[in-house]
């Protein structure tokens, strides 16, 4: 009889868990369970290590995708054994999704330390949901605490990140110190630009000949530009991602003064870039570039249509906008291809099930937004308390006789803090204004956009257009040998059948076909 097999996942989230022997404990639990189930776990069927499993990361997890590929090849695999739910992942939706994916391959996700979860009873399903709910909630709580700590460090003037070039880790955590070699060389390069003794290009060329790049790659102008215009070197600590904070009173020693920093910013702003590089959001004049493919050239490397301008060689002011296949050279006018693409989208109606799914997702997004707003308001109230305490301390310092020489500086600091207090209070007030009417407007706007996407698709920014394309038509648009534009795949939210008013003969000429339907 053929020996049945299992795959195994052993995961840690932190270095402390790794050093604490968590992996060894999980491996022992997995092997014991495999023995009880009468299966073996081959050495190459183990996936273990430090892997993030927070919500939104699991679909791209290398270990999961490799395991799924193995299960597709080896039909003798019947179990995917994990120690307990939070060692598998910390996301309710994604955990349920992967359980179904494995089950369709004939593989059951089996929990070694939670045997009550391995049955198909309703109580087991409820308990499994609660385990993943707890795991996801714990992860979110840790993330919020981390963001709160980050905010607090920046408000104190600390820099809780890797020190920038020219600095090294200091004796006090969060306060980098100037590197005695690289820092002084970078300062010399910056000041030579400020004093007009060298152009940015000359300063960069000199810097690349010094010990500043010893053991490292030489700097290019784009990277050097970011370096010279970074306000950190003038004593500023800031972040504009998870939190949005700028503190001009960083605790680290500045490399240059604020005036010198502003002069550098002005110089680099006026310096034209020699190479603009690719546009991050694409060319807005040709939103369908690299989204429409040529069926005739599908086996070639460059089979997509791209936009370009052309004139008739006589009147250079007369510009024609077109799209051209990069392989065969077949082209459309821009208006023609835009019309055909819009008609392709027009023919797709949202199904009732699709609408229900969208409404459910929108409700969830709104709930998460409200929850995020509550956390943000709570943090801002704590920031207000901190600032009010600092204002009181500054007021006490301002009236102290020994501080009379710096009284003006103290009063400026008090004014800055009061302005921040007003900004925080206004922000809290704006968040509290969110109500059910806002939710109704949000839902109405989102549904109208989804149902009338053909009207808005080409006006979207490139990044949003690509997201919508992935949602509506994952395979993009294709052009067949008769110049018809169609899509090979339609989103589950939509269908090809329509209840719309019948089209005119002209519009029917743009009708699409869908492969595999």
pLDDT at 208: 94
- The reported pLDDT for the residue numbered 479 is 93
φ and ψ at residue 59, rounded to 5 degrees: -65, -25
List the one residue out of 269, 283, 274, 363 whose CA is nearest residue 321. 283
- Among 158, 145, 149, residue whose Cα is nearest residue 236: 158
Separation between Cα atoms, residue 512 and residue 496, nearest integer Å: 9
Q: What is the pLDDT of residue 21?
A: 64
Whether this prediction's pTM lies above 0.85 is answered by: no
Q: Which of 233, 200, 195, 237 is nearest to 219 (CA)?
A: 200
Fold adopted by 160-270? Hect, E3 ligase catalytic domain fold (3.90.1750)
Tell me the CB-side half-sphere exposure of residue 27, using CA atoms within 13 A: 13
pLDDT score recorded for residue 406: 83
Place of tokens 């269908």: 495
Spans of the chain below 70 pLDDT = 1, 12-21, 49-58, 139-146, 242, 272-281, 433-437, 492-517
pLDDT by residue (tens digit) across 481-496? Answer: 899 999 887 776 665 4
CB-based contact 303:294 (threshold 8 Å): yes
Alpha carbons 177 and 174: distance in angstroms, whole number: 10
Residues composing the chain = 517
| Of 500, 364, 371, nearest in space to 443 by CA | 364
pLDDT value, residue 344: 85
Q: What local confidence, expressed as pLDDT, does residue 514 receive?
A: 43
**What's residue 516's pLDDT?**
39
pLDDT of residue 251: 92
Rg of the chain over all Cα atoms, to the nearest angstrom: 30
Beta strands in 93-223 (DSSP E): 108-111, 167-168, 177-178
With contact defined as beta carbons under 8 Å apart, do 71 and 103 qualify?
no
| Domain spanning 5-140: CATH superfamily | Resolvase, N-terminal catalytic domain (3.40.50.1390)
pLDDT of residue 324: 94
């Amino acid at each position: 009889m053929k020996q049945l097999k299992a795959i195994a996942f052993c995961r840690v989230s932190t270095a402390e868990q790794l050093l604490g022997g968590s992996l060894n404990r999980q491996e022992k639990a997995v092997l014991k369970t495999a023995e009880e189930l009468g299966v073996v776990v081959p050495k190459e069927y183990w996936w273990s290590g430090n892997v993030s499993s927070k919500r939104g990361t699991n679909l791209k997890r290398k270990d999961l995708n490799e395991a799924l590929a193995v299960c597709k090849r080896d039909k003798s695999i019947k179990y995917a054994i994990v120690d307990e739910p939070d060692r598998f992942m910390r996301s309710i939706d994604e955990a349920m999704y992967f359980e179904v994916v494995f089950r369709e391959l004939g593989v059951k996700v089996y929990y070694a330390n939670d045997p009550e979860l391995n049955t198909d009873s309703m109580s087991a399903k409820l308990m499994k949901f609660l385990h993943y709910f707890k795991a996801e909630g714990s992860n979110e709580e840790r993330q919020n605490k981390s963001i709160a700590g980050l905010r607090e460090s920046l408000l104190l003037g600390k820099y809780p990140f890797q020190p920038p070039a020219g600095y090294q880790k200091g004796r006090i955590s969060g306060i980098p110190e100037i590197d005695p070699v690289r820092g002084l060389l970078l300062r010399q390069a910056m000041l030579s630009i400020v004093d007009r003794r060298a152009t940015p290009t000359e300063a960069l060329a000199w810097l690349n000949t010094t010990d500043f790049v010893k053991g490292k790659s030489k700097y290019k102008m784009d990277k050097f530009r970011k370096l010279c215009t970074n306000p950190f070197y003038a004593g500023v600590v800031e972040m504009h991602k998870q939190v949005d904070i700028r503190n001009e009173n960083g605790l680290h020693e500045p490399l240059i003064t604020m005036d010198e920093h502003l002069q550098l910013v002005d110089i680099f702003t006026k310096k034209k870039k020699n190479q603009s590089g690719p546009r991050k959001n694409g060319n807005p004049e040709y939103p369908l570039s690299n989204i429409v493919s040529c069926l005739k050239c599908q086996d070639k490397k460059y089979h997509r249509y791209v936009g370009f301008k052309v004139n008739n060689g006589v009147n250079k002011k007369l510009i024609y906008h077109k799209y051209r296949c990069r392989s065969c050279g077949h082209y459309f006018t821009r208006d023609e291809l835009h019309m055909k693409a819009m008609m392709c989208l027009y023919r797709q109606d949202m199904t009732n099930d699709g609408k229900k799914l969208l409404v459910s997702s929108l409700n969830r997004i709104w709930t998460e937004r409200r929850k995020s707003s509550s956390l943000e308001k709570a943090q801002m109230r704590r920031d207000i308390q901190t600032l009010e305490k600092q204002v009181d301390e500054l007021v006490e310092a301002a009236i102290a006789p020994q501080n009379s020489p710096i009284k003006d500086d103290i009063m400026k600091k008090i004014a800055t803090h009061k302005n921040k207090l007003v900004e925080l209070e206004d922000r809290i007030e704006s968040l509290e204004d969110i109500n059910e009417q806002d939710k109704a407007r949000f839902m109405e706007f989102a549904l109208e956009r989804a149902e009338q996407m053909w009207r808005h698709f080409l006006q979207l920014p490139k990044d949003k257009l690509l997201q919508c394309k992935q949602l509506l038509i994952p395979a993009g648009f294709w052009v067949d040998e008769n110049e018809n534009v169609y899509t090979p795949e339609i989103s589950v939210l939509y269908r090809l059948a329509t209840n719309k008013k019948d089209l005119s003969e002209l519009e029917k000429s743009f009708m699409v076909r869908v492969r595999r339907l």
